[in-house]
Chain A
Amino acid sequence: MREKELEKIKEYKYGFSTDIEDVKAPKGLNKKVIQFISKIKNEPKWMLDWRLKAYDRLQKLTEPDWQKPKYPKINYQDLYYYSAPKSMKDKPKNLEDLDPKLLETYKKLGIPLQEQKKLNNIAVDAVFDSVSVATTFKEKLTEKGIIFCPISEAIQKHPDLVKKYLGSVIPLTDHYFATLNSAVFTDGSFVYIPKNVRCPMELSTYFRINASETGQFERTLIIADEGSYVSYLEGCTAPMRDENQLHAANVELIALDNAEIKYSTVQNWYPGDKDGKGGIYNFVTKRGACRGKNSKISWTQVETGSAITWKYPSCILQGDNSVGEFYSIAITNNYQKADTGTKMIHLGKNTKSKIISKGISAGFADNTYRGLVDINRKAENARNYTQCDSLLMGSKCGAHTIPYIKNKNSSSNIEHEATTSKISEEQLFYCNQRGLNQEEAVSLIVNGFCKDVLQQLPMEFAVEAQKLVGISLEGSVG
């Protein structure tokens, strides 16, 4: 292997690609391609109609351009919208029939799918490009009436639930990327937790982009019925490529009365190389509706990858006494850019929201927190607490905090705190003197800075995330 490549692999250890024969839709975005996707997935007519409606709507929309990170124009006709391993065509019935190359890929990513090696107490749905290739622990979950399956399977097996909730939080017509996703989404996870069931294990989806020139458009839908609880985690990686690849997912969460959803993301898409070449455009729409009273939705995100991260996981607090939380770590190094934050829409009485954002910038990177706290006229006694901290490493990076507040109810209470700090030479000297090298020192200081957010992650992932935080900043000092 050439030295340069070796060096690259050290930087981003998930950067390999799997050489696998695939089935692709023809290049381009048009009704034929949408029909192709719908057909290959054996979708009912209502689903195809829904997609086509989104496509028609898309013709009238333009891409938003108010975000801070600008990007070169994307040629939507020059992308593949569907790519799946050929071996997935005649759906393997169980893991033993799965292409060994796929098993190997996930093993390399640290996600063993085989029965005997499964992660302890974590059910995994593995999505490879445009299809879900495996879901573990299915039987154990079924016992409790929990549905955890690829969304393409849910469309066929649970059409009533899908019809009722799909697009109910992110409407077809929402905005360019959300509508694009509605037209061409390929796979993703579907979760339904029945009334009064506490999901006995972490549910998790692992997204992997493999094919080149292919966009990934997954769709996740999670419904927590009355009195239920679920903790869900998504992880993502992609090979290193010189091209920029588009990832435009939609995630919808619905929490009914007294239900709670905890949604965690560890996003580690390929960030591009040191000079900013390549990397994923991570343009994602995530929104949760606290539809029932006393319901709760909590977003935790650790965003370390992608060339551009542009997302605002939000909560619509409809139910009285409902709670929305957003905990975020966004790390940008080299030429990475992030414009991320949340929207907390307070509609019900006594609704509460909490926003903790930690932005870390190094190299030439640019990191923006953008958030909206919107208190509706009828939202009596709404409360929000926002804390935005930025940490800068070096003098060539940027950090920005843009908190919007719309307050239409005088009984509300909104608190906002913001800090910007730098890792000082003196702090590093102190750590070095105690035997820590530069990278260990930075990792320790940054993990300290992020602690309030890392604590929110499920235990199994907190350790991984801590390491990732350190790795993402490697080479950023000294």
Chain B
Amino acid sequence: MLKINNLSAKIENKQILNGLNLNVKAGEIHAIMGPNGSGKSTLANILSGKKGYEISGSITYQDKDLFKLEIEERAHNGLFLAFQYPLEIPGVNTSNFLKTSLNAIRKSNGKKELDALEFLKIIKLKAAELKIDEKILNRQLNVGFSGGEKKKNEILQMSLYEPNMVILDETDSGLDIDALKIVANGVNSLRDKKRSFLIITHYQRLLDYIKPDFVHVLMQGKIAKTGCSDLALELEKAGYEKI
């Protein structure tokens, strides 16, 4: 699904990633942990196509050269990033944004665009399944949302777009236990043989609900250690210093 080969990235002459390798196969869940500032969001941003980095190395996604795809083309090809800090867009109705995005993705895949009614039916169903209050749909996109509401909105979108490769950037940070369960539930209900997840997190507790296949530690710009879910427990106890 996703193959990262010797990836290095600089921003403003600061080396952030330095020879990172990672291989995510279809159906796998990988967790990435690492200290603050270790470059986890940078990795997520580069995968999604954000500009402004000086990059070397290569990434193949679904056997394509990822760097040849524009940001929106990556989205059309099923790459989804749940933002660590979802953006506020004043005046833009959340429901309208979700519908416009979904239709852009559908259109690029040769599927029929949904009209307002068809969309409403689907989104209401998804919100109910995930136990997300559908009231957020009528508000301006992320404007004045609590931290938890913003993250739930990301999860709702994830489940709406049904992506192939999901990257969650600290979606669990700052969530109470109920919201955390909503996030985990969203991931688990999408989990299948064809879909892969890259879950960036600080805390072991999310991994109590989502069983990852691998846990990686990102330090000094590369994967410093890889293990199974026990590694997360170890890290929780001993911190990153020991690695």
* Closest beta carbon of chain B to A433's beta carbon, Å: 5
For A444-470 the 0/1 string (1 means CB < 8 A from B) is 110111111000000000000000000
Whole-angstrom distance between the alpha carbons of A437 and B75 in the complex? 10
Say if the beta carbon of A440 comes within 8 Å of chain B.
yes
**Which of B51, B76, B87, B102 interacts with A430 by CB under 8 Å?**
B87
- In the bound complex, what is the Cα–Cα distance between A413 and B136 (angstroms)? 35
Cβ A450 vs Cβ B91 within 8 A: yes
Tell me whether A436 and B104 are in contact (CB under 8 A).
Answer: yes
Interface presence of A76 (CB below 8 A):
no
The verdict on A448 contacting B92 (CB below 8 Å), with A430-B83, A433-B81, A435-B108 known, is yes
Tell me how far the C-beta of B98 lies from the nearest C-beta in chain A, rounded to whole angstroms.
Answer: 8
Is the CB of B70 closer than 8 A to any CB of chain A? yes
Q: Is the CB of B50 within 8 A of A429?
A: yes
User: With A440-B100, A440-B104 given, is the CB distance from A432 to B89 under 8 Å?
Assistant: no
Which residues of B (65-105) have their CB < 8 Å from a CB of A?
70-72, 74-76, 80-81, 83, 86-87, 89-93, 97, 100-102, 104-105
Min CB gap B179→A, angstroms: 21
**A434 located at the interface, meaning its Cβ lies under 8 Å from any Cβ of chain B in the complex:** yes
The reply on A427 being an interface residue by CB < 8 A is yes
CB of B49 within 8 Å of the partner chain: yes
Known: A435-B104, A436-B101, A444-B97. A429 touches B71 (CB 8 A): yes
A435 touching B140 in the complex, CB below 8 Å, given contacts A430-B87, A448-B92: no
Report the separation of the CA atoms of residues A356 and B33 in the bound assembly, to the nearest whole angstrom: 48
**Is A426 at the interface (CB under 8 A from chain B)?**
yes
Which partner residue on chain B sits nearest A451 by CB separation?
B91
Q: Given the interface contacts A440-B100, A444-B97, does A432 sit within 8 Å of B71 by beta carbon?
A: yes
Given contacts A429-B50, A429-B71, A432-B75, A448 and B91 within 8 Å (CB-CB): yes
Establish whether residues A433 and B71, one from each chain, have CB atoms under 8 Å apart when the complex forms.
Answer: yes
Return chain A residues, CB-CB under 8 Å to B229: none
- Complex CA gap A437/B99 in Å reads 15
By size class, the interface of chain A is: 20 to 34
Q: Which of A245-264 contact B (CB under 8 A)?
A: none
Contact of B72 among A424, A436, A452 (CB under 8 A): A436
Bound Cα distance from A426 to B104, whole angstroms:
19
Nearest A residue to B167 via CB reads A433
Look across to chain A and name the residue whose beta carbon is closest to the beta carbon of B108.
A435
Chain B nearest CB, measured from A440 CB (Å): 6
Determine the chain A residues whose CB is within 8 A of the CB of B196 once the complex forms.
none
Q: A427-B87, A445-B89, A450-B91 are in contact. Are A433 and B75 (CB under 8 A)?
A: yes
Q: Interface SS of chain A: helix, strand, loop or mixed?
A: helix
Say whether B100 contacts A444, CB under 8 Å. yes
Are the C-beta atoms of B48 and A433 separated by less than 8 Å?
yes
Assembly CA distance A449 to B88 (angstroms): 12
CA distance A445 to B90 in the complex (A): 8
Considering the complex, give the chain A residue whose CB is closest to the CB of B143: A448
Cα separation A81 to B89 with both chains bound (whole Å):
47
- Is B157 among interface residues, defined by CB-CB distance under 8 A? yes
* Most chain B CB neighbours (cut-off 10 Å) among A425, A434, A450: A434
Contact between B90 and A449, CB atoms less than 8 A apart: yes
Q: Do residues B91 and A432 form an inter-chain contact, with CB atoms below 8 A?
A: no
| Chain B, range 116-158, C-beta contacts under 8 Å to A | 140-141, 157
Cβ contacts under 8 Å, B70 to chain A: 432, 437
Judging by beta carbons under 8 Å apart, are A434 and B75 in contact? yes
Distance in angstroms between the alpha carbons of A437 and B161 in the assembled complex = 16
Minimum distance in angstroms from A412 CB to a CB of chain B:
30
Within 8 A of B (CB), among A161-213: none
B72 CB contacts on chain A under 8 angstroms: 432-433, 435-437
Q: In whole angstroms, how far apart are the Cα atoms of A447 and B101 in the complex?
A: 15
Which A residues are CB-close (under 8 A) to B75? Answer: 432-435
A237 to B108, CA, bound (A): 33
Contacts of B105 in A (CB 8 A): 434-435
Q: In whole angstroms, how far apart are the Cα atoms of A449 and B80 in the complex? A: 26
Q: Which residues of B (184-232) have their CB < 8 Å from a CB of A?
A: none
Bitwise interface map of A from 413 to 430 toward B, beta carbon under 8 Å scored 1, else 0 = 000000000001111011
Cα(A444)–Cα(B89), bound, Å: 9
Given contacts A426-B87, A432-B75, A435-B75, contact A448 B140 (CB under 8 A): yes
B60 CB to closest chain A CB, in angstroms? 20
Distance between Cα atoms of A449 and B89 in the complex (Å): 9
Whether the Cβ atoms of B108 and A444 lie closer than 8 Å is no
Considering the chains assembled together, what is the distance between the CA atoms of A430 and B105 in angstroms? 14
**Using an 8 Å CB-CB cutoff, how does the interface string of A27-44 with B read, 1 for contact, 0 for none?**
000000000000000000
The CA of A444 and the CA of B92, in the complex, are separated in Å by 7
Name which of B74, B81, B97 has the most chain A CB atoms within 10 A of its CB.
B97
Nearest-neighbour CB distance to chain A for B30, whole angstroms, equals 20
User: Which B residues, 155 to 192, have Cβ-Cβ distances below 8 Å to chain A?
Assistant: 157, 161
B-chain residues with CB within 8 Å of residue A427 when the two chains form the complex? 87, 89
Give min CB distance, B103 to chain A, whole Å.
9
Residue from A434, A436, A444 in contact with B157 in the complex, judged by beta carbons closer than 8 Å: A434
B140 to chain A, nearest CB (A): 7
- Chain A residue with minimal CB distance to B106? A435
Give min CB distance, A61 to chain B, whole Å.
Answer: 42
**Which of B74, B91, B92 has the largest number of chain A CB atoms within 10 A?**
B91
Least Cβ–Cβ distance between A450 and chain B, in angstroms:
7
Q: How far apart sit A444 and B97, CA to CA, in the bound complex (Å)?
A: 8
Provide a sorted-by-A list of 24 A–B residue pairs whose CB atoms are within 8 angstroms. Answer: A427-B89, A429-B48, A429-B87, A430-B89, A432-B71, A432-B72, A433-B48, A433-B71, A433-B74, A434-B104, A435-B72, A435-B102, A435-B104, A435-B105, A436-B104, A440-B100, A444-B97, A444-B100, A445-B89, A448-B90, A448-B92, A448-B93, A449-B91, A452-B91
Other than A429-B71, A433-B72, give 14 A-B pairs with Cβ distance below 8 A.
Answer: A425-B51, A427-B87, A430-B87, A431-B101, A432-B72, A433-B71, A434-B105, A434-B161, A435-B76, A444-B97, A448-B89, A448-B90, A448-B93, A451-B91
User: Which 5 residue pairs of A and B lie closest in terms of their CB atoms, listed nearest first?
Assistant: A448-B91, A448-B92, A432-B71, A434-B101, A435-B75
